[in-house]
């Protein structure tokens, strides 16, 4: 008998997603199977809580095989989806006898992580969902999809694009979603799969975490965090942090979960602050992920001390938040309080402004004069009266180190058009709505640069 043809000696062709399968990785595997029809899908021993409902319903249909089946076997080719990190697929290849000679084909939408697989082919479109990348390939090849598989694929796209509102969403995500709907995907089922916190225990933890959230100011940036000690290994903490982050629109949220008995600390972070790179922060503590979403698990007998070190390191990494002094307009005109309204109106016309700070004899800001105040004087036929009789006072002002958030709150809540920045009685500058708009525009560009490079990667390692 020719032994090379026996089943045991045949080299396998497989499809794998990352460990702790989530909806996008399962969706990517299902779609990959349409392209690589002679490959077997291998499942992770862990299913992410967000994907459990879908797995329960479709497990038989999917026919994913456990990694134990690969023990002692050779693998010719492995299609790796939704990751390119050798660490995140390590569990599948433990028993394989020819790891060094496997041909890897990668479909990933995450950035390179430093531990990339040595692939013969890499497809790395930065779409919102990795499933969209495989979906585009299927559309291109004119492959027909079963409605159930279209549903699974669509669930993956909804999950990784945050229902198409994450900043990483591209036209192709919509194109593929539209194709999947046309292929008979059930939106009702997709909605059912996407309920983020699925079991009671997770919902309770969500509320507990919410009640534990505290705010820290690091170099003027608002960082929210919660620190919790848990008895048992809890699943789905990433989903809880994700939900808290989304619902409350924090700039940044860090969840610290200490498992005292096991001497472990799990840290999960989400950030939309351009100046906070979570991957850089948590890599320093043995973890990783993306700029916007990262995590780490540490062995420690003193989780609170580790939390403090993470905050201390954040203080080094984090650029100071914008302050009043960075926003203000310093090219400003002032006027003496004893000048007349007429002189003031000429000045305002010349400098094309709607208001001007008023100074007293000792050069202190004594009031603020706007066109509206001048109008009142004109109506009363008092244009030759001194400004001090018509100006607004006392003046609402701020110090130079007030953060942008506080500045915004004052300008918008008190409906103030011009906010003088004063330090030790000295007028430094003025903040008006234009200064804020200019800052917002620059901030948007910064966020674009950040997310445009790498996308808003929500599906971190957790």
> Among residues 130 and 277, whose Cβ is nearest to Mn ion?
130
Asked whether 159 and 23 are in contact (CB, 8 A), the reply is yes
| Interacting residues with Mn ion between 384 and 443 (CB under 5 A) | none
Query: Distance from CA of residue 18 to its chain's centroid?
Result: 20
CB of 153 to Mn ion, least distance (A): 12
Count Cβ neighbours within 10 Å for each residue of 49-75 and write b for 16 or more, e otherwise.
bbbbbbbebbeeebebeebeebeebbb
Residue 331 makes CB contacts below 8 A (sequence gap 6+) with: none
CB atoms within 10 A of CB 305: 11
- Nearest partner of 223 among 141, 318, 96, 113, judged by Cα: 318
Alpha-carbon distance of 370 to 358, in angstroms, equals 10
Q: How far is residue 10's CA from residue 21's CA, in Å, rounded to a whole number?
A: 27
- Binder among 108, 137, 149, 160 for Mn ion (CB under 5 A): 160
Residue written as token pair 């640069």: 449
Binding of residue 172 to Mn ion (CB under 5 A):
no
Q: Which of 459, 460, 461, 462 binds Mn ion (CB under 5 A)?
A: 459
Task: Pick the closer one to Mn ion by CB: 221 or 292.
Answer: 292
Minimal distance, residue 418 CB to Mn ion, in Å: 47
Nearer to Mn ion, 292 or 459 (CB): 459
The nearer residue to Mn ion, 91 or 336, going by C-beta atoms, is: 91
Written as one string, the DSSP assignment of 186-244 is: -HHHHHHHH-S--SHHHHHHHHHHHHT-EEEEETTEEEEEEEEE-SSPPS-HHHHHHHH
Q: How far is the CB of 111 from Mn ion (least distance, A)?
A: 12
Beta strands in 273-350, from DSSP E residues, in sequence order: 288-289, 293-299, 335-336
E strand or H helix at 178: helix 171-182
- Pair 130, 82: CB distance under 8 Å: yes
State in angstroms the smallest separation of the CB of 426 from Mn ion.
54
Interface stretch with Mn ion, choices 74-82, 135-143, 243-251, 337-345 (CB under 5 A): 74-82
Which residues face 106 on adjacent strands? 80, 122
Strands 65-66 and 355-359 turn out to be unpaired
Residue nearest to Mn ion (CB): 24
Number of H helices, E strands in the chain: 16, 17
How far apart are CB 27 and Mn ion at their closest, in Å? Answer: 9
| CB nearer to Mn ion: pick between 82 and 242 | 82
Q: What's the farthest any 2 CA atoms get from each other in the chain?
A: 115
- For the CB of residue 78, give the shortest distance to Mn ion in the complex, in Å: 18
Binding piece for Mn ion, criterion CB under 5 A, among 67-75, 81-89, 410-418, 448-456 = 81-89
Q: How far is the CB of 432 from Mn ion (least distance, A)?
A: 43
**Contact window for Mn ion (CB under 5 A) among 231-239, 385-393, 419-427, 452-460:** 452-460
**Number of residues in contact with Mn ion under rule CB under 5 A:** 5
Q: How far is the CB of 395 from Mn ion (least distance, A)?
A: 53
* CB-nearer residue toward Mn ion: 152 or 387: 152
How crowded is residue 389: how many other Cβ atoms within 10 Å of its Cβ? 12
Applying CB under 5 A, the span of 22-30, 291-299, 316-324, 387-395 interacting with Mn ion comes to: 22-30
Q: Which strands sit side by side in the sheet containing 264-271, from one edge to the other?
A: 214-218, 221-229, 252-259, 264-271, 293-299, 288-289
CA distance 405 to 439: 12
- Site residues (CB under 5 A) for Mn ion, limited to 34-53: none
Question: Closer CB to Mn ion, residue 151 or residue 459?
Answer: 459
Residue 24 or residue 137: which is nearer to Mn ion going by CB?
24
Which of residues 24 and 172 has its CB atom nearest to Mn ion in the complex? Answer: 24
Segment interacting with Mn ion, rule: CB under 5 A, options 78-86, 302-310, 328-336, 405-413: 78-86
Q: Which is nearer to Mn ion, 168 or 432 (CB)?
A: 168
Smallest distance from the beta carbon of 24 to Mn ion, in angstroms? 3
Tally Cβ neighbours within 10 Å of residue 269. Answer: 30
Interacting span for Mn ion (CB under 5 A) from 51-59, 79-87, 114-122, 273-281: 79-87
Closest approach of Mn ion to the CB of residue 195, in Å:
19
**Least distance from C-beta 109 to Mn ion, angstroms?**
6
Measured from the CB of residue 176, what is the shortest distance to Mn ion in angstroms? 13
Of the two residues 269 and 460, which places its CB atom closer to Mn ion in the complex? 460
Under the binding rule (CB under 5 A), the answer on residue 24 touching Mn ion is: yes
Q: Which residues of 98-117 are buried (b: 16+ CB within 10 A; e: fewer)?
A: eeeebebbbbbbbbebeebb
For Mn ion, give the closer residue by CB, 64 or 256.
64
Q: Does 82 participate in binding Mn ion (rule CB under 5 A)?
A: yes
**Binding region for Mn ion (CB under 5 A):** 24, 82, 130, 160, 459
């Amino acid at each position: 008998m020719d032994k090379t043809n026996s089943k045991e000696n045949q080299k396998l062709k497989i499809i794998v997603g990352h460990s702790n399968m989530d909806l996008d990785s399962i969706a990517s595997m299902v779609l990959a199977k349409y392209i690589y029809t002679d490959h077997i899908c291998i499942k992770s021993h862990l299913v992410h809580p967000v994907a459990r409902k879908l797995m329960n319903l479709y497990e038989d249909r999917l026919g994913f095989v456990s990694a134990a089946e690969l023990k002692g076997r050779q693998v010719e080719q492995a299609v790796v989806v939704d990751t390119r990190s050798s660490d995140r697929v390590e569990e599948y290849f433990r028993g394989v006898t020819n790891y060094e000679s496997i041909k890897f084909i990668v479909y990933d939408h995450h950035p390179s992580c430093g531990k990339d697989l040595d692939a013969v082919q890499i497809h790395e479109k930065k779409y919102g969902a990795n499933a969209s990348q495989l979906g585009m390939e299927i559309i291109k090849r004119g492959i027909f999809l079963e409605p159930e598989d279209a549903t699974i694929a669509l669930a993956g796209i909804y999950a990784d694009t945050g229902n198409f509102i994450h900043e990483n969403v591209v036209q192709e995500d919509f194109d593929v979603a539209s194709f999947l709907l046309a292929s008979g995907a059930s939106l009702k089922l997709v909605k059912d799969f996407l309920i983020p916190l699925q079991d009671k225990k997770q919902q309770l933890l969500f509320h507990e975490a919410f009640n534990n959230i505290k705010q820290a100011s690091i170099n003027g940036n608002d960082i929210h965090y919660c620190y919790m000690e848990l008895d048992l290994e809890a699943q789905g903490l990433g989903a809880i942090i994700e939900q808290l982050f989304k619902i409350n629109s924090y700039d940044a949220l860090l969840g610290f979960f200490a498992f005292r008995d096991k001497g472990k600390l799990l840290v999960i972070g989400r950030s939309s602050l351009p100046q906070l790179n979570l991957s850089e922060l948590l890599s320093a503590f043995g973890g990783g992920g993306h700029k916007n979403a990262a995590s780490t698990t540490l062995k420690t007998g003193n989780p609170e001390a580790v939390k403090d070190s993470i905050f201390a390191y954040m203080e080094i990494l984090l650029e100071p938040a914008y302050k009043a002094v960075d926003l203000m307009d310093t090219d400003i005109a002032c006027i003496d309080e004893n000048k007349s309204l007429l002189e003031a109106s000429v000045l305002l016309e010349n400098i094309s402004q709607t208001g001007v700070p008023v100074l007293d004899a000792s050069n202190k800001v004594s009031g603020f004069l706007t066109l509206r105040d001048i109008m009142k004087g004109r109506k009363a036929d008092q244009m030759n009266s001194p400004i001090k009789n018509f100006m607004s006072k006392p003046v609402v002002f701020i110090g130079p180190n007030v953060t942008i958030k506080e500045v915004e709150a004052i300008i918008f809540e008190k409906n103030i058009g011009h906010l003088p920045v004063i330090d030790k009685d000295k007028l430094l500058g003025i903040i008006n709505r234009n200064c804020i708009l200019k800052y917002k525009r620059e901030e948007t560009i910064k966020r674009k640069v950040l997310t445009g490079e790498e996308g808003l990667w929500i599906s971190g390692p957790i």
